[in-house]
Amino acid sequence: MPKILSVNAGSSSLKFKLYAMPAETVIISGLVDRIGHSDAVFTYNYQGTHYKKALAVQNHTEAVQLVTDALLASGAVRDKQEIVGIGHRVAHGGREYTQTTKITPVVQQKIADLATISPLHNPVNLLGIEAFEKLLPSASEVAVFDTSFHSTIPPKAYMYALPFEYYAKYGIRRYGFHGQSHQYIYSEVNRRYDQDFSRKIISCHLGNGASVCAIRDGKSVNTSMGFTPLAGLVMGTRSGDVDPNVLPFIAEKENFSAADIRQLLNHQSGLLGISGVSNDVRDVLQAEADGNDRAKLALQIYVHQIQSYIAAYTADLGGLQTLVFTAGVGEHSAPIRERVCAAFGYLGVKIDAEANQDNDLDISAADSRVKVLVIPTNEELVIARETEKVLDS
């Protein structure tokens, strides 16, 4: 069976999963964390055994070396050539890449060029691509873009009402992210349920980063992230939507540069910024329970923003059949799901308190007019599927 490696390279981490396709069996999976530090950690799981080692890992090439060595040493592969394809998560595909794409020097250059609009992610995605190119040269490399699933969003939803020349010159528009996750959610709803539940879906990916996606007949028709992954929902440390005029106002008052503003919006805002407690929903819920008013306010804003997008996207879809929660918060936080759903009695949304508490797959009450689901996301599997599809074509 062909083996496909799914890779998600972040600024200081590298996650991997090796699949036997088309069976979609996970052979080995792991993570190099704290890349660039002397106390990095390499963990992997193979045949029920958990392996963990603390060591210095200077850069992504060293991390990839560790991974390729472990693939052989563990027995997951006998020969590197067994790995026919490597699918890389790439954050931004811009206007060019509306589909998964085989990596060539031209594609690599384009991914590098797109760093102007994705400075935090595209350069590190590229580091992963380059390192695997050196260490597993026989495997075909494929780029699976976060933005591609959203290429079906219509212009009325992706254009900003700025002077048109900025769209023409710089490609400034909504792109959307978390595409692999929302795509996976659609595939799971479609696999498990019939058309009465799979034609009008709202997928809420609530992790450290968070986005909502409206999916009609398997296609993204709107999503809350925008030109960058900063827009939309309140996130752990990201602001989500704010009146754009607030930014020059703060810049002038505080004498901030563009970089200072970016730092403020990406790293000091969101749940952390409002609560002053933490970016982690669990900590903020605990602080709220302890009587912290700012934690309570932060959660109210967080939930309200999710509700606003669900309401708007119900209009985009002309109704709602299935509401899905996924990612860290969506999969594990019963109180957040309960609070979000509480606003939608008028749509006939009703959840079963016990099923919700247990994080069951189907948390809707028997008489709910909308199905409410909790589905653990699986971005790596979408990367492997997409890679297989490109290699077969």
The amino acid at residue 342 is A
| Comparison of 236 and 240: residue with beta carbon closer to ligand ADP | 236
**Shortest gap between Cβ of 79 and ligand ADP (angstroms)?**
33
Q: What residues contact 88, with CB distance under 8 A and at least 6 apart?
A: 7, 8, 9, 103, 125, 128, 129, 132, 141, 142, 143, 144, 383
Asked if 128 touches ligand ADP (CB under 6 A), the answer is no
Return d(Cα 66, Cα 75) in angstroms, integer: 14
Backbone angles phi, psi at 216, to 5 degrees: -110, 125
Contact letters (x/-) for ligand ADP, 233-272, by CB under 6 A?
Answer: ---x------------------------------------
User: Is residue 15 marked as binding?
Assistant: yes
10 near ligand ADP (CB under 6 A): no
Q: In sequence order, what E strands does the chain have?
A: 3-9, 13-20, 25-33, 37-46, 49-57, 83-90, 101-102, 140-145, 200-206, 210-216, 219-223, 322-326, 371-374
Annotated binding residue 194: no
The dihedral through the CA atoms of 143, 177, 328, 275 has a sign that is positive
Q: Is 191 annotated as a binding residue?
A: no
Taking CB under 6 A as the criterion, the residue among 128, 207, 226, 229 binding ligand ADP is 207
Q: Answer yes or no whether residue 204 interacts with ligand ADP by CB under 6 A.
A: no
Distances (CA, A) of 323 to 214, 301, 343: 10, 20, 13
Decide if residue 329 touches ligand ADP (CB under 6 A): yes
Distance CA 80, CA 297 (A): 53
Residue 209 makes contact with ligand ADP by CB under 6 A: yes
Listed ranges 16-24, 46-54, 202-210, 305-313: which one lies at the site for ligand ADP (CB under 6 A): 202-210
Question: Residue 157 or 355: which CB sits closer to ligand ADP?
Answer: 355
Using the rule CB under 6 A, which residue among 130, 133, 217, 280 binds ligand ADP? 280
Q: Is 328 in the site for ligand ADP (CB under 6 A)?
A: yes
Rounded CA gap, 238 and 216, in Å?
28
| 59 has binding-site annotation | no
**Is 332 a residue that touches ligand ADP (CB under 6 A)?**
yes
- Minimum CB separation from ligand ADP for residue 337, in Å? 10
Three-state DSSP state, 377: coil
- Annotation-wise, does 208 bind a ligand? yes
Stretch that binds ligand ADP, among 82-90, 141-149, 215-223, 329-337 (CB under 6 A): 329-337
Instruction: Check residue 281 for interaction with ligand ADP (CB under 6 A).
Output: yes
- The CA-atom distances, in angstroms, between 342 and each of 267, 278, 304 are 30, 25, 11
Active site includes 79? no
Tell me: is residue 93 an annotated ligand-binding position: no
End-to-end CA distance of the chain: 17
The single residue of 33, 39, 113, 146 carrying the catalytic annotation is 146
Interface with ligand ADP (CB under 6 A), residue total 12
Between CA 205 and CA 212 the distance in angstroms is 6
Cβ at position 280, least distance to ligand ADP in Å: 4
Q: CB atoms < 10 A from the CB of 110, how many? A: 17
Q: Does 327 sit near ligand ADP (CB under 6 A)?
A: yes
DSSP 279: S
CB within 8 Å of 181: residues ≥ 6 apart: 203, 205, 326, 327, 377, 379, 382
When asked if residue 340 is in the footprint of ligand ADP (CB under 6 A), the reply is no
State how far the Cα of 391 lies from the Cα of 308, in Å rounded to an integer: 40
> By beta-carbon distance, which residue lies closest to ligand ADP?
328
Q: Could you say whether residue 208 binds ligand ADP (CB under 6 A)?
A: yes
Residues near ligand ADP (CB under 6 A): 207-209, 236, 280-282, 327-329, 332-333
Point out the residues that are catalytic.
146
Annotated binding site for Mg(2+): 8, 379
